[in-house]
């Protein structure tokens, strides 16, 4: 956890992610990244110079057989409030619309539901568990499939919803997150989505892994390119989005 807290502290400082009195809703999918983020932010509260609150929110997409009760028990153990909102997102995507490439629409629908529920519960910020590899995968997805240089932002203010989105794990390696989740025996909920592991994002993950095998500095150089080449990634920068 110490290594993850160190990278998280650096990201928070670099992009001014925290203010005194913040109430932060962590988007808890049940995966390792979001659970580690929830645990890390809860631990970070103890020594942060800026007092803030944390709660967990899960958007249940409606897949059958998914049980979030272990996550609820984990939240009770670490002393944070936890809410699960049931939705019919899965039915809309796969049964009604029969989307062949549902990931983008799914992401928008889940984010919208998460942001709305966060606002309803008095939160002014939403924290998402994207790690360093997620940054790079998104960058290459944009480059290869959209023909532009782009990735999600470390800090985004959504002016229409009057809420900010932060990503405190952008410097954390997926391997470190996976290792901590295993050692701490976090209650990871298996992703029930049929697109898990077969999407274009998985292709980018495989691409990055192959490049890293050939060049151990590949990830750090790409990260440097993102931070120097994308305006909203320059240290201290923030992006507004309507």
Question: What is the reported pTM?
Answer: 0.91
* pLDDT value of residue 144: 94
C-alpha 43/C-alpha 78 separation (Å) is 9
Q: Where in the chain are the domains?
A: 2-241
In whole angstroms, how far apart are CA 145 and each of 108, 124, 170? 18, 33, 22
Classify residue 211 as exposed, middle or buried by CB count within 10 Å of its CB (0-12, 13-18, 19+): middle
Architecture of domain 2-241 in this structure: 3-Layer(aba) Sandwich (3.40)
| pLDDT digits 0-9 by tens, 10-25 | 999 999 999 999 999 9
| pLDDT digits 0-9 by tens, 128-158 | 999 999 999 999 999 999 999 999 999 999 9
Angle at the Cα of 189 from the Cα atoms of 186 and 193, rounded to 5 degrees: 150
Let me know: does 155 contact 194? Beta carbons within 8 Å.
no
| pLDDT digits 0-9 by tens, 48-82 | 999 999 999 999 988 888 899 999 999 999 999 99
C-alpha 48/C-alpha 9 separation (Å) is 9
């Amino acid at each position: 956890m110490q290594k993850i807290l160190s990278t998280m502290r650096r990201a928070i400082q670099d992009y001014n992610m925290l203010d005194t009195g913040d109430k932060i809703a962590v988007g808890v999918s049940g995966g390792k990244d979001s659970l580690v983020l929830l645990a890390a932010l809860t631990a970070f509260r103890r020594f942060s110079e800026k007092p803030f609150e944390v709660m967990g929110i899960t958007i249940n997409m409606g897949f059958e057989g998914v049980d979030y009760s272990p996550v609820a028990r984990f939240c009770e153990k670490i002393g944070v409030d936890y809410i699960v909102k049931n939705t019919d997102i899965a039915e809309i995507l796969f049964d009604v619309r029969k989307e062949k490439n549902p990931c983008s629409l799914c992401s928008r629908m889940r984010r919208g539901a998460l942001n709305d529920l966060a606002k309803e519960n008095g939160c002014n910020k939403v924290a998402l568990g994207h790690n360093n590899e997620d940054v790079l995968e998104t960058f290459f997805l944009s480059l290869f499939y959209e023909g532009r240089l782009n990735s999600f932002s470390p800090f985004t203010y959504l002016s229409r919803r009057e809420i900010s989105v932060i990503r405190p794990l952008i410097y954390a390696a997926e391997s470190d997150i996976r290792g901590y989740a295993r050692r701490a025996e976090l209650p990871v909920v298996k992703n029930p989505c049929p697109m898990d592991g077969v999407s274009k994002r998985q292709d980018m993950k495989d691409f990055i892994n192959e490049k890293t095998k050939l060049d151990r500095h590949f990830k750090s150089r790409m990260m440097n390119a993102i931070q120097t080449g994308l305006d909203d990634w320059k240290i201290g920068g923030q992006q507004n989005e309507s």
